[in-house]
Amino acid sequence: MTDQETNTTDIDLSKVLPGPCCGRFVPGPDEIDETLARLGIERTVQHPDFPMEPEEGFAEEDFELEGAELEGAGFASMTMLHGMGRKLALPSGTPRNFPPFPGATRLWSERSRHQVLRIRRKAPGIVCATYKGHGRTGMPWGIDIFVSPFHQKANDAQKHLGDALRRWLENNWSEMHINYIIWFNQINDGAGWISNEPWRLTSGGSHDPVTSRHQDHVHVQIMDPNLGPSQ
């Protein structure tokens, strides 16, 4: 990457409050396409169709995702997801305690909360978090899934877990109402994987090289149904 390639965003960073983790600014689909055009990268795969349901309000309160809540009722739709039969084991060193970083919360919308339950059903014990202003659609719809400790690059076993989660999330994109995924400095907004490097240091998030490259966590952004399909 040249210096010119890494400075592709015109956002005024002074107007982006710093986030504690991976960032608050994420380029919109139009900006991604404009940047790729400048870099000479062509994308031909179109966005999948996303079913959008009303979600005007949600309870902003913390919650636990342990024990009976993971094993209890409310998971009838689990069978609709691909790959739920095989659980993912957490390797040594993967965080198991909340919060994974200072400022982390679990103030999700009901839609995102349901996806967090699904993620933790797939990988029991894994830690998920969000924070104020998280990602393109904000705190209620941003999910960070930690495969290694904050600011520590995933080792081989932890990266294998992140890769497996990434594949599983992709396979369930529409069912889980996903807006985009970032993992190991690659972003997929529904049209294929591209480098996240052009936007990494303009995100308003941590300037730690591991966390800003999403090498310690998988970032998932859920569609905000209040914004419609163009978000």
Residue 50, domain member (yes or no): no
Residue 105 maps to a domain? yes
Average pLDDT for 126-150: 92
DSSP letters, 4-31, are HHH------GGGSPPPSSS-S----HHH
For helices 156-171 and 110-122, angle between their N-to-C axes, nearest 10 degrees: 130
111-136: per-residue pLDDT in tens? Answer: 899 999 999 999 999 999 999 888 88
Please report, for residues 110, 150, 220, the alpha-carbon distance to residue 228 in angstroms, rounded to integers and kept in the order given. Answer: 17, 33, 18
Residue 35 belongs to some domain of the structure: yes
- Its domain, for residue 31, covers 22-40+101-225
The pLDDT score that the predictor gives to residue 220 is 95
Please tell me the total count of domains within the chain.
Answer: 1
- Report yes or no on 9 lying in a domain: no
Per-residue pLDDT tens digits for 73-87 = 344 444 467 777 789
Residue 75 lies in a domain: no
Full-model pTM: 0.75
In-domain check, residue 196: yes
Residue 66 forms part of a structural domain: no
* % residues pLDDT > 70 (the chain): 65
Is residue 53 one of the residues assigned to a domain? no
**Average pLDDT, whole number, for the chain?**
75
**DSSP per residue over 65-125, as a string?**
--THHHHSSS-GGGGGSTT-SSPPPPPTT---SS-SSTT-B----HHHHHHHHHHHHHSTT
